[in-house]
Structure 1
């Protein structure tokens, strides 16, 4: 079966399969553009893992039950055939399930628009070990997905969750945010049609993709590249989300630290950044976010990180007492020089950089804020409005304060 699987799985997915086999992965988030092969791969992985774990069953989900038969059900039946197992399965649509005859294991299909069916789930033996959420972004949010997982993944000694989706254009989509979050055992994988053998999709598919690339590059990047391209109102068009290794940070001899005061519901936010003046590149590599946390505790957090020891620590001037609390705790904290036009000037400086690089693993909240930050639109006309929205910008403000001494020098 292993040899057959390697023959069937495109090479781009083989490292994912190997990581699952080694026991390093308990959750796979597969995202990508049209024709990226993610659903085909996950369906084969699900069947293969079911056969390797004879005491478990699988559940396949979509938001709307009426879409199951022509999507994930047909996909699983296809995968069973691709793996040469059709003679060992009985697949029915009423009830909608695929049963592995040698053991009685079942692959069950549900729409979460009828939660009663999931709650009344009955198994002939064992427990559900594999759960696949197809079109993840169509579910109502992380709470719904988490509740489903808590309902179906009970009692087994081994579990694997599979989640697949085409990223929505808007960065603030909950599924796009979820893909940026890190946790032990979670593997996020991105693929496009270009990762597959050309013959697998056919010349017509490739011709259509290349035509769209010529006619509408942004639509191509979203539909076929699976990129989060936004609505055209993104404030930071120069944003790059990527890993920033330690050896890269060692090349910078000056670090800038910033704090935006907050309590609740607005949080306290901290960031550290390095600036390459020659290339006009800002690298944001550290963050902290807290709510309802006293100054003495956040000061201890910053002292433990060495904030302000090798570069300026600048905080929002709106709270002079908080700045004084930090200085009393041993932090060289100074207040930002607020004034007319300071927000506009600092934001224009950030927008004018060659690149703002954010490590989404080190700084997930900062990456989310910068990537989701958009100009407001007139609700009647749809036109972009001037000014910068003062909402969900706590880390953006912390970064502005951190580099105040740089952008005020103008020529830097």
Structure 2
């Protein structure tokens, strides 16, 4: 949207909030999926993205999002859509990953490392476009539009996003982990 929020620095200036067209769909060459776990007060966030690697554009295609959603409810949703692409999940919950596997869903944990959060956020910001249709994925749209940079105690922005209300963003980072490359974590925070 191009409107400054919070500290005035736009985390994703490449964000396009608009309808995803048939032409956009025709450009998609890769599907990526990710999960950020949650249950009680934090929502579980499943995201499905299309990726046009040649043009460096990602398209938000689907989401499953909410609190008090069991792993079985999530598995049922994914299976009902007949999604068979692998899912990269937050590795903090190996039992939840096993629950998906028991439901014949290809899931594995993300490989986290020092600086991987910041690098993933930078990789997303360096894309030509992040296209989100709020009619298809309202929670992804809301989070990407309202996220802000974290601040130090003196009020200066840090090179990472706030760690609040960023569940679909985290799931998106996990989804594209393979596309970001290995050994490129450059931040030392």
TM category (shorter chain) comes to: 0.7 to 0.9
Instruction: Give, in angstroms, the shift of residue 312 of structure 1.
Output: 2.5
Instruction: Give, in angstroms, the shift of residue 291 of structure 1.
Output: 1.2
Structure 2 residue 62 is the aligned partner of structure 1 residue 292: no
Instruction: Give, in angstroms, the shift of residue 326 of structure 1.
Output: 0.3
Structure 2 residue 158 is the aligned partner of structure 1 residue 385: yes
Work out the number of aligned pairs and report it.
182
Using CA pairs under 8 Å that are at least 6 residues apart, name the structure with larger relative contact order, 1 or 2: 2
Q: Say which of 100, 107, 124 aligns to 1:326.
A: 100
Residue 263 of structure 1 contacts residue 292 of structure 1 at CA under 8 Å; is this kept in 2? yes
Residue 2 of structure 2 contacts residue 10 of structure 2 at CA under 8 Å; is this kept in 1? no
Residue 258 of structure 1 contacts residue 270 of structure 1 at CA under 8 Å; is this kept in 2? yes
Work out which of the two has the higher radius of gyration on C-alpha atoms and give 1 or 2: 1
Instruction: Give, in angstroms, the shift of residue 296 of structure 1.
Output: 1.0
For residue 337 of structure 1, give the secondary structure of its aligned residue in structure 2. Answer: coil
Residue 11 of structure 2 contacts residue 147 of structure 2 at CA under 8 Å; is this kept in 1? yes
Gaps of 5+ in 1: 1-226
Instruction: Give, in angstroms, the shift of residue 384 of structure 1.
Output: 2.3
In 1, distance between residues paired with 2:172 and 2:151?
25
Gaps of 5+ in 2: 185-189
Instruction: Give, in angstroms, the shift of residue 234 of structure 1.
Output: 2.2
TM-score (norm 1): 0.42
Structure 2 residue 128 is the aligned partner of structure 1 residue 342: no
In 2, distance between residues paired with 1:395 and 1:239?
14
In 2, distance between residues paired with 1:289 and 1:249?
23
Instruction: Give, in angstroms, the shift of residue 247 of structure 1.
Output: 5.3
Structure 2 residue 126 is the aligned partner of structure 1 residue 352: yes
Residue 259 of structure 1 contacts residue 402 of structure 1 at CA under 8 Å; is this kept in 2? yes
Instruction: Give, in angstroms, the shift of residue 237 of structure 1.
Output: 1.4
Partner of 2:56 in structure 1? 280
For residue 161 of structure 2, give the secondary structure of its aligned residue in structure 1. Answer: coil
Residue 275 of structure 1 contacts residue 282 of structure 1 at CA under 8 Å; is this kept in 2? yes
Instruction: Give, in angstroms, the shift of residue 281 of structure 1.
Output: 1.0
Partner of 1:263 in structure 2? 39
Compared with structure 1, are the counterparts of its residues 341 and 402 closer, same or farther at alpha carbon in structure 2 (3 Å cutoff)?
A: same
